Amino acid sequence: MPQLPTPALPEPAHPEVDSMLSRRFGKEIANYYSGSPLNRVGFLRTDNTFLSLALRHPSTTVLLFKNLEPLLKSPSELATVTFDDVKSVIGDDPFGRPEADTIAQYNSSLYIPQIIFLGLDERKEKEGFVYREHYKGQPWFAVDVTPKESVTDAAEKLIEKVKSEGLDFSKGRMNMSLHAQEAAIYAEARHLLDWNARNPFCASCGYKTLSVNAGFKRTCPPADIANAVTDTNARPPCATRTGISNLCFPRTDPTVIMAVVSADGQRILLGRQKRWPPHWYSTLAGFLEPAESVEEAVRREVWEESGIHLGRVVIHSTQPWPYPANLMIGAIGQAIPEGETVHLGHDAELEDAKWFSAEEVREALRVGTSGLGEDAGSEYKEGGLRLPPSTAIANQLMTAVVNGFASGSPMI
Amino acid sequence: MPQLPTPALPEPAHPEVDSMLSRRFGKEIANYYSGSPLNRVGFLRTDNTFLSLALRHPSTTVLLFKNLEPLLKSPSELATVTFDDVKSVIGDDPFGRPEADTIAQYNSSLYIPQIIFLGLDERKEKEGFVYREHYKGQPWFAVDVTPKESVTDAAEKLIEKVKSEGLDFSKGRMNMSLHAQEAAIYAEARHLLDWNARNPFCASCGYKTLSVNAGFKRTCPPADIANAVTDTNARPPCATRTGISNLCFPRTDPTVIMAVVSADGQRILLGRQKRWPPHWYSTLAGFLEPAESVEEAVRREVWEESGIHLGRVVIHSTQPWPYPANLMIGAIGQAIPEGETVHLGHDAELEDAKWFSAEEVREALRVGTSGLGEDAGSEYKEGGLRLPPSTAIANQLMTAVVNGFASGSPMI
């Protein structure tokens, strides 16, 4: 299966939502990478007049990415540039003509740097952009400035310029600790840049596709000026053109991740992968399969990886995870009394899975958390259990369990 | 966006789970298309010895599909055939050699009918198949017998034979009303057959891909015997070969669907699409976007489609939906007092959205439900509100709201 999300960013930043939202059932858990302040106004992505005005507005903020790594001011802060800064790479008005014209004049031999429209920051209503009266705020875009094909020179110059200003691209996600709202904006940009980069061809017909809807759709044009195979520029028929196809839209893989509690409610099952540092454990996780409910996926995955049989399963919260395209669905499950024996022989994914006492997990949440491969806090004693940081939903699930999730009593 | 699921099958069949699972928080809602009795033993999909023995075991059950329509005994029952029946189409031992050999000898000019391994029915332990002691039961497979390329004749003969026995392929999902457990098995088969058929080419390099892992993976072989372009059979490098890529695995699109309750808890917001019959309404729904939590997707989608601003959002249950590949995530959301005004001008998706009283919805759930375009029950009075059947999660969400979901009090 694709890479499973691993615990990552070190900063404990899970924004709490307004108390308004939590009147009766306790607070909603807003995990790291969610909580974006932007209004995506997705229905305006097909409107090139909107996109053209928004991109060129003086208030507009642009994030730069090189090979999917964002430009940073510091490990905890994204760097932003203006439209004028990136004009040399993306042109004076990349949204200047209607999308239908861009598709009709498609030429697969031309390289077009990817631009993503991320949304409007409505908190900046005054200085921001106004469109059709209703839609106000500071426009945010992301641009891929990886030096490539026809933009190599312009992109290299731009990169040189920002580096001379003391900015630099991230060196891998383990070295970033963005504040929560910026992390959410970054996650949107990264997920979409990755999806576009990963899908240059049509899975239905094998021909090259074109990014439209400001990065939120890829279309398979019916003709290609670079097409020298036939007399006309026409391509063979493609199923994605005769109806609406999910292949044209960004992919997000639902993933289940679960804290498993023993039948008596006193122990928590954790597992570890071989490549993790010593003493590291986390909750089990895996991809939801076709035609499964979340609860079924949780029970199947836990049985496959650990041999444990679950009874009750309750969904706790969700976390977008942009490496590359996951929706983590966090749950808490309880083993049935006769199903608590660990058996690692079904699926060979884990090196170990075992039961820990609630006390041990509680203590490790206090003193033993960090990003993978980072040091724990000063109270940690060598040999003690190590756990992922609070930015990982795994940590939130374990915390919920030791705090007595959704019940008045301890544990589950 | 891709087609949104529409309310469909008429039969009220949502299996309740064991009371064991519901000790403290009430029953888990197992929606239609979930609740499969099969153990998928997914880790055995790469083991061709297992697959070969399972497919050819005397107890093995095979579902036939033609253009994604299943062979039926009646509108409520799948027809099953034996391995011997389909041998003429899929060959004597399609899993006879290790997967690595099949990939190494890949020839894109050969047509291979799609076979899906669905799982083991462990309830049939006695008469079933046993593998490595742990894995027991009746093996279930699905086979695509659409008459095509090299299997045209054999497939046509097989179809003639089953038709002579009084069986026939479904004529669209509106004409099926499978019992719940069969519906779940059918959903697994349909989702995977559709995914394989929809993705014959590699989105990363544009070359043809090969189905492996008994239908649960598509791989981009490094060489192709039919490749006449180069001296060797080698293909250009492909990113999906140098690491694990999500492109190789089945796609499932997370979708949010939500019952919206007014701030005073007394009204429910419903919407309708233009193409629906008169008086039909349902809950709002839409695709989760990259880098959103479920709650964020629910709030965004409700605002885009209706202008309503939600505060609290609670996840209710999930439903696999195999048309073609959705995970419906059902939620209940509550409007904030100052955010209850309907505005349809943002996104043009709905023809209407409006508030209904709890009483009207409760009555419509009693007398006005059916599949789209079907008649309601005898108590329905013309002009009354029409709603989707209990097999649709939309119905379950509205039912939960009028029954007072997760609270002792009415509504929310």
Its ipTM equals 0.93
Same domain, A360 and A383: yes
Whether residue A251 lies within 8 A of chain B, CB to CB, comes out as: yes
The pLDDT score that the predictor gives to residue A406 is: 52
CB contact under 8 A, A407 and B22: no
Listed in sequence order, the DSSP H helices in A335-392 are 358-367
Q: Place A397 in a pLDDT band, splitting at 50, 70 and 90.
A: very high
Q: Which of A286-290, A294-298, B24-28, B334-338 has the lowest mean pLDDT?
A: B24-28
Of A248, A274, A298, the last residue of a domain is A248
Residues 271-290 of B with CB under 8 A from A: 287-290
Q: Which residues of A touch B348 (CB under 8 A)?
A: 43
pLDDT attached to residue A230: 62
Can you tell me the distance from the alpha carbon of B267 to that of B270, in angstroms, rounded to the nearest whole number?
10
> Does B197 reach chain A within 8 Å, measured CB to CB?
no
Pairs of CB atoms within 8 A across A/B? 242
Query: Last residue of a domain, which of A227, A248, A269?
Result: A248
* pLDDT tens figures, A206-263: 999 999 999 999 999 999 999 766 667 899 999 999 989 999 999 999 999 999 999 9
In Å, how far is A82's CA from the nearest CA of chain B? 24
Beta bridge partners of B280: B386
**What is the three-class DSSP state of A169?**
strand
A244 and A285 co-located in one domain? no
Handedness of CA B87, B88, B89, B92 (dihedral sign): positive
Strands, E, within A2-68: which ranges? 38-39, 61-66
Is residue A351 in some structural domain?
A: yes
Put simply, whether B226 touches A (Cβ < 8 Å) is no
What is the rounded distance in angstroms from the CA atom of residue A38 to the CA atom of residue A54?
Answer: 14
* CA B356/CA B338 separation, integer angstroms: 18
Residue A27 has what pLDDT?
56
Which has more confidence, A126 or B105?
B105
Question: CA-CA distance, A260 to A315, in Å (whole number)?
Answer: 12
Is the model more confident about A139 or about A6?
Answer: A139
Residue of B219, B246, B344 to mutate for A, most A C-beta atoms under 10 A: B246
Q: Does B244 touch chain A (CB under 8 A)?
A: yes
List the single residue in A with minimal CA-CA distance to B208. A206
Does A15 score more than 60 pLDDT?
no
Contact A204, A236 (CB under 8 A): no
> Chain A closest CA to B12's CA: distance in Å?
18
Q: Chain A: nearest CA to B143, how far in angstroms?
A: 17
Report residues of chain B scoring pLDDT below 70.
1-27, 228-231, 406-412
Cβ distance of A252 and B247 shorter than 8 Å: no
A24 has a pLDDT exceeding 60? no
Tell me the residue ranges of DSSP E strands in A43-177: 61-66, 69-74, 77-78, 115-121, 129-131, 135-144, 168-169
**Rounded to an integer, what distance in angstroms lies between the CA atom of residue B352 and that of residue B349?**
9
Q: How confident is the model at residue A348 (pLDDT cuts 50, 70, 90)?
A: confident
Q: Is residue A7 part of a domain?
A: no
Say what the pLDDT of residue B8 is.
31
Q: Are residues A103 and A243 in the same domain?
A: yes
Residue A74 falls inside a structural domain: yes
Higher-confidence residue of A28 and A386: namely A386
For residues A244-256, one letter each, b for 16 or more C-beta atoms within 10 angstroms of the residue's C-beta and e for the rest, the string is ebbbbbbbbbbbb
* Chain A interface includes B228 (CB < 8 A): no
Domain-ending residue, one of A204, A222, A248: A248
Domains contained in chain A, number: 2
Would the CB atoms of B312 and A200 count as touching at under 8 Å?
no
Of B245, B329, B407, nearest to A2 by CB-CB distance is B245
The residues, any chain, with a CB within 8 Å of residue A190's CB and separated by 6 or more, are A65, A68, A70, A322, A324, B291
Residue B81 and residue B57 share a domain: yes
**Amino acid (1-letter code) at residue B271:** G
B174-199 per-position pLDDT tens digit: 889 999 999 999 999 999 999 999 99
A40 & A176 share domain = yes
Nearest to A251 by CA among B192, B189, B254: B254
Residue of B184, B208, B336 with shortest CB distance to A291: B184
The verdict on B55 and B189 lying in the same domain is: yes
What is d(CA A42, CA A308) in angstroms, rounded to the nearest whole number?
43
Cβ contact A42–B347 (<8 Å): yes
Considering the domain architecture, whether residues B229 and B321 belong to the same structural domain is answered as no
Q: Which residues of A touch B239 (CB under 8 A)?
A: 198
Collapsing DSSP to helix, strand or coil, A344 comes out as: coil
The closest CB to that of A336, out of B20, B336, B346, belongs to B20
pLDDT at site A5: 41
Q: Which residues of B touch A20 (CB under 8 A)?
A: 311-312, 336
**Degrees, nearest 5: CA angle B270-B275-B277:** 70
For the full predicted model, state whether its pTM sits above 0.90: yes
Q: Confirm whether B293 is domain-assigned.
A: yes
Range A58-76 average pLDDT: 97
Q: What is the 3-state secondary structure (H, E, C) of chain B?
A: CCCCCCCCCCCCCCCCCCHHHHCCCCCCCCCCCCCCCEECCHHHCCCHHHHHHHHCCCCCEEEEEECCEEEEEECCEECCECHHHHHHHHCCCCCCCCHHHHHHCCCCCCCCCCEEEEEEEHHHCCCCEEECCCEEEEEEEEEECCCCHHHHHHHHHHHHHHHHCCCEECCCHHHCCCCHHHHHHHHHHHHHHHHHHHCCECCCCCCECEEEHHHCEEECCCECCCCCCCCCCECCCCHHHCCCCHHHCCCCEEEEEEEEECCCCCEEEEEECCCCCCCECECEEEECCCCCCHHHHHHHHHHHHHCCCEEEEEEEEEEEECCCCEEEEEEEEEECHHHCCCCCCCCCCCCEEEEEEHHHHHHHHHHCECCCCCCCCCCCCCCCCEECCCCCHHHHHHHHHHCCCCCCCCCC
Give B228: exposed, middle or buried? Use CB within 10 Å, 0-12, 13-18, 19+: exposed
Confidence of residue A20 (pLDDT cuts 50, 70, 90): very low
Residue A61 CA to residue B117 CA, distance in Å, equals 50
Q: Map residue A21 onto helix, strand or coil.
A: helix
User: Does the beta-carbon distance from A30 to B188 stay under 8 Å?
Assistant: no
Q: Tell me, yes or no, if B291 comes closer than 8 A to chain A by beta carbon.
A: yes
For residue B230, what pLDDT is reported?
A: 61
Q: Which of A194, A327, A349, A396 to mutate to test the interface with B (most CBs of B within 10 A)?
A: A327
Give the model's pLDDT for residue A29: 85
B2 lies in a domain? no
Contact B251 A251 (CB under 8 A): yes
pLDDT of B229 reads 61
Would residue A14 count as lying in a domain? no
Residues of B in contact with A329 (CB under 8 A): 294
- Give pLDDT, residue B287: 98
Contact (CB, 8 A) for A319 and B293: yes
Measured between CA atoms, the residue of chain B closest to residue A335 is B21
Do the Cβ atoms of B100 and B106 come closer than 8 Å?
no
Of B349, B381, B402, B394, nearest to B9 by C-alpha is: B394
Task: Centre a 10 Å sphere on the Cβ of residue B194 and count the other Cβ atoms it contains.
Answer: 20
Whether residues A220 and A335 fall in one domain: no
Q: What pLDDT is attached to residue A4? A: 41
Q: What is the DSSP string of A255-269?
A: EEEEEEE-TTSSEEE
Q: Which of B40, B206, B312 sits opposite A207 (nearest CB)?
A: B206
Q: A48: phi > 0 → left, psi -120 to 50 → alpha, else beta; which?
A: alpha
Residue of B nearest to A186 (CA): B291
Residue B326, token pair as written in the block: 């959705």
Distance from C-alpha of A175 to C-alpha of B67, rounded to nearest angstrom = 49
Any domain includes B218: yes
A312 touches chain B (CB under 8 A): yes
Contact status, residue B168 vs residue B71, Cβ threshold 8 Å? yes
Q: How far is A392 from chain B (nearest CA, A)?
A: 14
What average pLDDT does the segment A285-299 reach? 97
Instruction: Give the C-alpha separation, A119 to A135, whole Å.
Output: 10
Domain membership flag for residue B26: no
Q: B105 and B84, same structural domain?
A: yes
User: Phi, psi at residue B202, to the nearest 5°?
Assistant: -85, 120
Inter-residue contact A121 to A140 (CB < 8 Å): yes
Non-local CB neighbours of B238 within 8 Å, separated by 6+ positions: B202, B204, B205, B207, B220, B222
Residue A295: give its domain's CATH number.
3.90.79.10
Question: Cβ–Cβ of A249/B28 closer than 8 Å?
Answer: no
Residues 53-112 of B with CB under 8 A from A: none
Least confident of A63-67, A76-80, A175-179, B229-233: B229-233
Q: Are residues A319 and A336 in the same domain?
A: yes
- B333 touching chain A per CB within 8 A: no
What average pLDDT does the segment A407-412 reach? Answer: 46
In the Cβ-directed half-sphere of A208, how many Cα atoms lie within 13 Å? 16
Measured between CA atoms, the residue of chain A closest to residue B325 is: A290
Domain range for B218 = 32-248
B178 and B119 in a single domain? The answer is yes
Residues B172 and B281 in one domain: no
* Integer Rg of chain A from CA: 24
CB atoms within 10 A of CB B216: 22
